[in-house]
Amino acid sequence: MRVLCLTLAALLCASMITFAQAPSESVQIPMNSFLRWNDAMNEVVLFRDQHSRSEIPLEIYNMTTGAKRSIDILKDFPQSSQVIISNVAVGSDGTIVVVCRLQSSGAPLKDLILSYGPSLTLDKIWDVAPYEPSAVAIDEQGNVYSVGTRYDDKTAGQSYPILVVYDSEGHVKKEMLARSSFPSTADPVRDTHQMGFVTIRVTDTRIFLYLPSEHDVLTLDKDGKILKQVDVYEVYHHLISEKGYMNFFVREDYFSSLGELWSGLILRAPSAASSKKPADYTSIIVQLTEAGQAVVQNEEEDHFSVRLAGVTPSNEPVALHIDPSGTAALRIGTH
């Protein structure tokens, strides 16, 4: 569940975002949200939990025109009282897939995958119990790849697959990557405070998977066989040590179309541990290359002033830069 960084997002509460590609446009965007970049549509998708009917859980902003669209999940489920959103994926045709849990009065939580078409109408509803998905991705054929945890009698044996592929109609097409592949007793498909969020990307020939609780970036073939495994914690820890910082946490993480993991990191300065002053933090964006090296892709910025929104097909970061006045600009490329 994406609940770890909401308090951090509140620290970034900027009332206005301007779009760098359309300097004449300015749009009010709430910053207590997670961001997902859709390069095919040149849009940024903001998503958050929906606790009442007066709230809007998904808002989509066009970076060129500033036009705004929205999805109201509770409107499509009038018997429900709350929506908890775990993850959102976007397709090249504008389809938006939402992983969520619906809560209704007197009823248990219901784990669903919802598919909204390009016109943002609810097209498909997939009841995925007993799975609780953490992240999803869409391929060019409309298949949905879901990585998550299973809660039933198979859980104890740890033999269940954590990666499930659904066809465009919601039928299970393939199951792979056994839970028993990971020796830890804790759930391997789990967000963590320090290492960030479960993330998945699918290409024609590969599946890229980030499991933060395992510290692993995995490269899989289309049958779920592990071809490559990188310990991200070791790579990031080495990087921040070289730069003179004492600790870090991952605020955002995305795979590029090349299968490289990009992360928005917050670094903690050494002085914060020994001083009574407020902790001094720095924001950076890091690219984990195919060779397993961490490359900083922006100059260090004070405090929580930069957020990673996505990565373009040309392997450039899409980032939200927030200045001291609280004004934020969404920009493509390194700055």
pLDDT digits (tens, 9 = 90+) for 193-206: 899 999 999 999 99
Strand 144-150 to strand 82-90: parallel, antiparallel, or no bridges (unpaired)?
unpaired
Banded pLDDT at 25 (limits 50, 70, 90)? very low
Tell me the C-alpha distance between 252 and 117, whole Å.
26
Predicted TM-score (pTM) of this structure: 0.86
Longest Cα pair distance anywhere in the chain, in angstroms?
58
Say if 165 falls within a structural domain.
no
Question: What residues form DSSP beta bridges with 165?
Answer: 145, 174
Picking from 221, 200, 220, the residue whose alpha carbon sits closest to that of residue 99 is 200
- H-run or E-run covering 84: strand 82-90
Phi then psi dihedrals of residue 228, to 5 deg: -155, 145
**Which of 1-10, 59-68, 77-86, 294-303 has the highest mean predicted lDDT (pLDDT)?**
77-86
Residue the block writes with tokens 């759930």: 187
270-292: string of b/e by CB count within 10 Å (b at 16+)? eeeeeeeeeeebbbbbbbbeeee
Phi then psi dihedrals of residue 233, to 5 deg: -60, -45
Say if 75 falls within a structural domain.
yes
**pLDDT exceeds cutoff 50 at 7:** no
Picking from 125, 159, 165, the residue whose alpha carbon sits closest to that of residue 147 is 165
**pLDDT exceeds cutoff 80 at 29:** no
Say if 46 falls within a structural domain.
yes
205-230: string of b/e by CB count within 10 Å (b at 16+)? ebbbbbbbbbbbbbbbebebeeeeeb
Q: How many CB atoms lie within 10 A of CB 112?
A: 19
- H-run or E-run covering 38: strand 34-38
What's residue 326's pLDDT?
A: 66
Residue range of the domain that includes 89: 28-127
By percentage, how much of the chain surpasses pLDDT 90?
Answer: 43
**pLDDT exceeds cutoff 50 at 324:** yes
Lowest mean pLDDT across 83-87, 139-143, 224-228, 304-308: 304-308
What's residue 152's pLDDT?
A: 72
What's residue 276's pLDDT?
A: 52
Banded pLDDT at 41 (limits 50, 70, 90)? confident
Structure tokens at 318: 């899409």
Say if 19 falls within a structural domain.
no
Say if 163 falls within a structural domain.
no
Tell me the C-alpha distance between 230 and 215, whole Å.
8
Say if 89 falls within a structural domain.
yes
Banded pLDDT at 92 (limits 50, 70, 90)? confident
pLDDT top residue among 141 and 333: 141
How many structural domains is the chain composed of? 1
Say if 122 falls within a structural domain.
yes
DSSP state of 114: E
**What number of CA atoms fall less than 13 Å from residue 166's CA on the CB side?**
22
Tell me the C-alpha distance between 217 and 289, whole Å.
11
Say if 41 falls within a structural domain.
yes
What's residue 88's pLDDT?
A: 94
Lowest mean pLDDT across 73-77, 83-87, 311-315, 324-328: 324-328
Q: What is the mean pLDDT of residues 321-326?
A: 71
Q: How many CB atoms lie within 10 A of CB 52?
A: 8
Tell me the C-alpha distance between 143 and 137, whole Å.
8
Residue the block writes with tokens 């659904």: 166
**What 3-state DSSP class applies to 235?**
helix
Average pLDDT taken over every residue of the chain: 83
Q: Which amino acid is at 5?
A: C
- Helix extents (H) in 121-198: none
